[in-house]
Structure 1
Amino acid sequence: MKKAIFILMAALAVAACREDELVIPSDTQDTGGNSVGGSIVGMYVLCEGNMGTNKASVDYLDLSGNGSNVVYHRNIYPERNPTEVKELGDVGNDIKVNGNRMWMVINCSNMVVVATADSCRKVAKIDIPNCRYVTFDGAFAYVSSYVGPVEVGGTEHLGRVYKVDTASYKKVDSVTVGYQPEEMAVLGGKLYVANSGGYLLDHREKTVSVVDLASFTEEGKIEVAPNLHRLRADRHGRLWATSRGDYWTEPSRLFRLTLDAAGTSASVDTLDIPVSDLCIVGDSLYYIGVEWSYETSSNKIGHGIVDVARAEPLASSLTSAPEFSDITLPYGIIVNPEDRDFYVMDAKDYLSSGQLYHFRADGTFEWRVWTGDIPGHAAFVYK
């Protein structure tokens, strides 16, 4: 009899558990830094997670000033979205805040996840194959896509850019660009797309595609350098592109593109600076650089500031703080456009938990915290 009662109670308990949402709490850490106010109330950090592990995660830095100290919340997505079986997905590759929505590009899960910017609650999922980066113009989002599977040296697939309605979250159009397109920038009614050809080992792409936004057709290509990656616009109407080179004889470099009146060709200025990520604030381009060489089997690491107006180095380092030397692999950088304090993401061994470092505008180190696996992308949240 007792055994029967126990079995009945266990069955009822299981049934109750199935109806309840399993909430996985986030992990919280006090950074010890002070909230200073301003229009920025927080910052999301997207951690890629090692490919194939389904461990992409998003952290949140509370800068609202509601508490005396700045608080860091790790892995908030499961807590805010308890019904999501697979959580966030495999390889978080980009994150942007557009209005009251946050867009996360989950590369190897072939999807873009849209969530509320204030609470990180999922509102939509957009299926896009081998998606890479997202940018916005007006009522539309533009997502770059390798199209084909993750396959270095495999079948060649021209990339595409998908046009997505930001109100309905529906794909409304797409355009073919170069091989393995990466970051994009919008200027003067044109969408510029950095083509990497990252899967083409013996003949990498060297171009930036020019897409007319009105007709959504590719008007042409601007030749720059092999294996392009980052692409940003400055306030003077020029583009800044980075090349990862070929990892052997062709080095990583930074390029400034001054467009012609039609916006379909450009003069190119070359800076012999390896840049893996950058952030432009005013006329200052903050950068970090990790350049891998197969010849030496090692990374060359650098950081500094470039004068955007003159296309010249402004500072050979971001900081002289000794804590910066503790960073193993600087993987991402973001600069507060109001106060110019900056954050550097350390990917460590590209496998496990990383760290987020915070420095004041003068380079003074303030704090660091542990993050999810492979932190590399961040976006501010505004009031």
Structure 2
Amino acid sequence: MKQLQLRYLFIALALGASLASCRKDKNEPTDTFETPDVLILSQGNIGKNNSLVSSYNFTSNNLVTDAFSAVNGRGIGDTGNDIKQYGSKIYIVVNYSSTVEVIASRSLKSLKQVPLMNGATPRQPRSIAFYQNKAYVSSYDGTVAVIDTASLTVDKFINVGRNPEQLAVANGKLYVANSGGLDYPNVDNTVSVINLNTGTLVKTITVGDNPYGVAVDKGGDVYVSAYGVYYGPEDPLNTSASLAVINSATDEVKTKNDFFGSNFTISGNFGYYLNWDSTISVYDTDKEVVIKDNLISDGTTFKAAYNLTVADNGEFFVTDAKDYSSDGELFIFDSSGKKRHTLTTGINPSAVLIVKK
């Protein structure tokens, strides 16, 4: 199994007891709910069925630590892994429960819980992306589920590589990072390319060992981050973490370089990623060079930076998993890199969604 590399799988969640007066009892659903500006997904402890979604409103400065449960009277399940919005719906990918929870973006009311099972066997969904009224969900069983966003039913499953992680759309195609991480160190090193007009696998591209992250820039280049493989000190079989850039017009790898950051994300013309020393580097996707070593300007540091999200206006959000077993925090920064807010979350806050109104 991955060690630190599999933190997305093995790190848990529960949502932190912040602003206790705002906490709602899980058994008391309410019809009155403040429209969220930000949602924070915390994974919880694997096997504990305690994933949580927190809601924060900038105007009122109000945090509801277990917002989904407050609205719906139940939890979202075991090990929430991804949360994204498409239109008026928000989709929460819950790994160990093997479900996709679909909720209304303004009220957070559950619209449907979509199971992803192969008979009685959980598929273990990981990440989600969207294209032309379809949701595409990668699962550790080596498939991508195609969900109709109107009916919220599964149209079909497309076979890809081993243990796929993140996926993204570019140039009418879906790019899926095949990690092979459950067989570590016998990992995968490929990206599956699916033609979204035909729904078929059209190419497999070799990238770095144990790929996990996929991001797309404005020009259509696809950035694939990979963990590499570590066998032991000075072992000749060790391979470096890497960042490969794929031209989506030709589906050829343009560049591939060592990359020791994490959470590579793109907003506008720039890429952003976390470093192990609590800094955030800024990468110019046109020039393909780092243009700033640290986006944080006020000296803020983290114990275990876990997720990075950058808004269109330049504000950015960093979650801190702390010790991976107690409540984490969400740090909100303005575009100048100064901290605006610190919010207590649950255990291992793994994803942040800026809600579009």
Asked whether the two chains share a fold, i.e. TM above 0.5, the reply is yes
TM alignment of 1:324-363, pairs within 5 A: 325=301, 327-337=302-312, 339-363=313-337
Equivalent of 1:113, from 98, 101, 109? 101
CA distance in 1, matches of 2:230, 2:304: 17
Equivalent of 2:267, from 281, 303, 307? 281
Q: Indicate the SS of the match to 1:350.
A: coil
CA distance in 2, matches of 1:122, 1:101: 10
Structure 1 match to 2:72:
81
- Runs of 4 or more, structure 1, over 3 Å off, are none
Structure 1 match to 2:240:
251
CA distance in 1, matches of 2:279, 2:333: 16
Equivalent of 1:127, from 88, 105, 115? 115
TM alignment of 1:175-190, pairs within 5 A: 175-190=158-173
2:170 and 2:248 in contact (8 A); partners too: no
Structure 1 match to 2:289:
312
CA distance in 1, matches of 2:65, 2:257: 37
Instruction: Using the TM superposition, give the Cα deviation of residue 372 of structure 1 relative to its aligned residue in structure 2, in angstroms.
Output: 1.2
Structure 1 match to 2:53:
58
CA distance in 2, matches of 1:110, 1:267: 33
CA distance in 2, matches of 1:202, 1:278: 23
Instruction: Using the TM superposition, give the Cα deviation of residue 41 of structure 1 relative to its aligned residue in structure 2, in angstroms.
Output: 6.2
Q: Give % identity.
A: 29
2:55 and 2:63 in contact (8 A); partners too: yes
Residue 43 (1) aligns with residue 44 (2): no
1:55 and 1:373 in contact (8 A); partners too: no
Equivalent of 1:227, from 183, 199, 210? 210
CA distance in 2, matches of 1:209, 1:289: 27
Residue 102 (1) aligns with residue 90 (2): yes
Residue-pair matches, total: 317
Distance 1:188 1:170, change over 3 A: same
Residue 22 (1) aligns with residue 16 (2): no
Letter in 2 for 1:376: S
Letter in 2 for 1:259: S
Structure 2 match to 1:90:
78
CA distance in 2, matches of 1:202, 1:358: 36
Instruction: Using the TM superposition, give the Cα deviation of residue 334 of structure 1 relative to its aligned residue in structure 2, in angstroms.
Output: 1.0
Equivalent of 2:222, from 216, 233, 239? 239
Higher relative contact order (CA 8 A, sep 6+): 2
Q: Deviations over 1:229-256 (max 9, x none)?
A: 1101110011011111114432322222
Distance 1:167 1:207, change over 3 A: same
Q: Deviations over 1:71-118 (max 9, x none)?
A: 222111111001x3xx11111100001111110000000110000111
Q: Deviations over 1:193-216 (max 9, x none)?
A: 111010122421111101111221
Structure 1 match to 2:343:
369
Letter in 1 for 2:69: P
Letter in 2 for 1:134: I
Task: Note the aligned Cα RMSD (angstroms).
Answer: 2.0
Letter in 2 for 1:269: T
CA distance in 1, matches of 2:278, 2:338: 20
Residue 270 (1) aligns with residue 270 (2): no
1:50 and 1:350 in contact (8 A); partners too: no
Instruction: Using the TM superposition, give the Cα deviation of residue 142 of structure 1 relative to its aligned residue in structure 2, in angstroms.
Output: 0.4
CA distance in 2, matches of 1:367, 1:23: 29
CA distance in 1, matches of 2:197, 2:265: 28
Larger Rg: 1
Q: Indicate the SS of the match to 2:76.
A: coil
Q: Indicate the SS of the match to 2:37.
A: strand
Instruction: Using the TM superposition, give the Cα deviation of residue 267 of structure 1 relative to its aligned residue in structure 2, in angstroms.
Output: 2.5
Structure 1: gaps (5+ residues): 1-20, 29-39, 148-158, 291-299
* TM-score, reference length from structure 2: 0.84
Structure 2 match to 1:170:
153
Q: Deviations over 1:57-77 (max 9, x none)?
A: 0011213x3x4xx32221111
Letter in 2 for 1:90: D
Instruction: Using the TM superposition, give the Cα deviation of residue 227 of structure 1 relative to its aligned residue in structure 2, in angstroms.
Output: 0.6
1:224 and 1:268 in contact (8 A); partners too: no
Letter in 1 for 2:248: L
Q: Indicate the SS of the match to 1:277.
A: strand
Residue 137 (1) aligns with residue 137 (2): no
Structure 2: gaps (5+ residues): 1-25, 117-122, 232-237
Q: Indicate the SS of the match to 2:70.
A: helix
CA distance in 2, matches of 1:357, 1:144: 29
Structure 2 match to 1:71:
62
Distance 1:232 1:196, change over 3 A: same
Instruction: Using the TM superposition, give the Cα deviation of residue 335 of structure 1 relative to its aligned residue in structure 2, in angstroms.
Output: 1.2
Q: Indicate the SS of the match to 1:109.
A: coil
Instruction: Using the TM superposition, give the Cα deviation of residue 302 of structure 1 relative to its aligned residue in structure 2, in angstroms.
Output: 4.8
CA distance in 2, matches of 1:319, 1:233: 24
